[in-house]
Amino acid sequence: MTSTAIVRFRRDLRLHDNPTLVAASDADRLLPVYVVDPRRVGEQAYGGPDSFRYQRTGGHRARFLRESLSDLRERLREHGSDLLVRRGRPADVLPEIADAVDADVLHEQALPTTEERETGAAVGDALAADGVARRTHWTHTLHHPDDLPVHPTVIDDTFTPFRERVEAESTGRDPVPTPDLPPLPDQLPEAGEIPEPLGSVPEASADGRGVLPFRGGESRALARVEEYLWTGDHLREYKETRNGLVGADYSAKFSPWLAAGCLSPRYVASEVDRYEAERVANDSTYWLVFELRWRDFFQFQFLQHGSQQFRREGIRNRTDLDWRWDETAFRRWADGETGVPFVDAAMRELAATGYTSNRARQNAASLLANDLRLDWRRGAAHFERLLVDYDPASNYGNWAYIAGVGNDSRDRAFDVLSQGERYDSDAAFVTRWCPELADLTAVAPDYAREPWTAPREALVEAGVELGVDYPRPMAGLDDRYESIP
Ligand SMILES: Cc1cc2nc3c(=O)[nH]c(=O)nc-3n(C[C@H](O)[C@H](O)[C@H](O)COP(=O)(O)OP(=O)(O)OC[C@H]3O[C@@H](n4cnc5c(N)ncnc54)[C@H](O)[C@@H]3O)c2cc1C
């Protein structure tokens, strides 16, 4: 009897190193499907106590996702297959498709976060009612949970012991080759247009000041690995440059493709191995894989702690912390109008491009959570909307960590002023995103980073009037942000 499988793509929009696709390709007939879930791309409630509403997917990620789906469809067609795209709740849509093609089994990616797990379970229940099996495959981390020294639900809550044990005791798996894809089922439904825009917001185009244009899709992901490692040979100095703020190559910029699954972390690690064998093995080559282990760590933490990760009190149940809810203050932070140029530059870059560096994210998050003490979940949800590389575990995990409610009990507050001085000493980052301070940079970069400290003559010379051309530091910050008399 002919067997028919469905492979439902989720955050694994690729053909390379995709164990779900390999397993599904055992069938005689295979239908690849992607479901656009309206709950992910429109306005939603945050949920839980003190909920608020927010747009979940902004214009940059909507564009990136659509491009990724187009590329996936093209690559599947090159392999004699196709991609069926449907809009609706997966638990409603997938049983209909299974029925139309008389499928026996659906294969899909297993994900660690609550909502994705609930959606998957609902799909499983709906299919089971029709006698269709659901098989899941863990495919998005560097280390497979079965290869960890201990079960992922009992791993350490702090990164260093986790990493040390993983480095000492876990082996990685090699990427799996792309399988020969079985033919499509005979009674094929219409492939369906890839909706444009995908969500309820208009797609955003690339901003020329951004670090990279970030085009979605596996083809672009593989090209970026080629450029960063091989053509540009940047990996050899990654550890020294990774705290940069301006330019394409201070860090790998793999995150949007890793988050959408256009790129496999195991493929990246295997390319690093090859680079170490053919070019150089040093602290930098080690450090890129070290960062992929940070990524793994957050994924496994979400498996362990479930929805507690999204709570204001976090996994450490910090009921002792007070959080403010001040709409005007929040908007100033979100709009890059705090009057603190290092943070304003980060927030403006994020809004304009969907990306800002790790260093900039840390400082922007810390100012909101630790200096202004505004509810960190609002900030995290704002990042969720805007980030082109949004990943629930990486985003909420990093936010909770900085807000002091997540992994690690040490104080994670950043001294934003000294960080700016250290990482943006020439104020190039500030000037790029706060151009109204450019002439002040020419007088002295220190004044551009901290314009409230500039003497009156310097402000006059640069033609900057604080409170008119650029805001004064907002209320709620400590006295280091006060203007000199
Ligand atoms: C408040 C905050 C929110 C964040 N939200 C996200 C998010 O939604 N999605 C996301 O991918 N990253 C997130 N990060 C982590 C980090 O900022 C980005 O992964 C990184 O800036 C991406 O640029 P890159 O690919 O050039 O990184 P590189 O420095 O080149 O690192 C290589 C890869 O390692 C992983 N990585 C590096 N640092 C981290 C980290 N701290 N946590 C988890 N993974 C890491 C990423 O996959 C990254 O692509 C967040 C960090 C902070 C402080």
d(CA 121, CA 128): 10
Q: What is the mean pLDDT of the chain?
A: 95
Residue with CA at minimum distance from ligand 1 atom 45: 295
Q: What is the mean pLDDT of residues 48-63?
A: 95
Q: Is the pLDDT reported for residue 190 higher than 90?
A: no
Residue with CA at minimum distance from ligand 1 atom 30: 252
89: which DSSP letter? -
**pLDDT, position 484:** 67
pLDDT in tens, 130-156: 999 999 999 999 999 999 999 988 888
Q: What is the mean pLDDT of residues 157-186?
A: 94
- Nearest atom in ligand 1 to 392's CA: 8
Mutation test of ligand 1: which of 310, 358, 376, 377 has the most ligand atoms closer than 8 Å to its C-beta?
358
Q: What is the mean pLDDT of residues 341-357?
A: 98
pLDDT in tens, 380-418: 999 999 999 999 999 999 999 999 999 876 778 999 999
Ligand 1 site, residue 382, Cβ cutoff 6 A: no
Rounded alpha-carbon distances, angstroms, from residue 157 to 125, 160, 174, 218, 362: 32, 9, 27, 33, 20
**pLDDT, position 187:** 85
Give the chain's domains with CATH numbers.
4-140 (3.40.50.620), 327-481 (1.10.579.10)
**pLDDT, position 485:** 60
CA 398–ligand 1 middle distance (angstroms): 9
Residue with CA at minimum distance from ligand 1 atom 17: 358
Strand ranges, E, within 253-406: none
Residue with CA at minimum distance from ligand 1 atom 29: 251
pLDDT in tens, 432-457: 999 999 999 999 999 999 999 999 99
Ligand 1 site, residue 391, Cβ cutoff 6 A: yes
pLDDT in tens, 350-374: 999 999 999 999 999 999 999 999 9
Q: Is the pLDDT reported for residue 81 higher than 80?
A: yes
What is the 3-state secondary structure of 435-459?
HHHHHHHHHCHHHHHCHHHCCHHHH
d(CA 406, CA 419): 22
pLDDT in tens, 208-244: 999 999 999 999 999 999 999 999 999 999 999 999 9
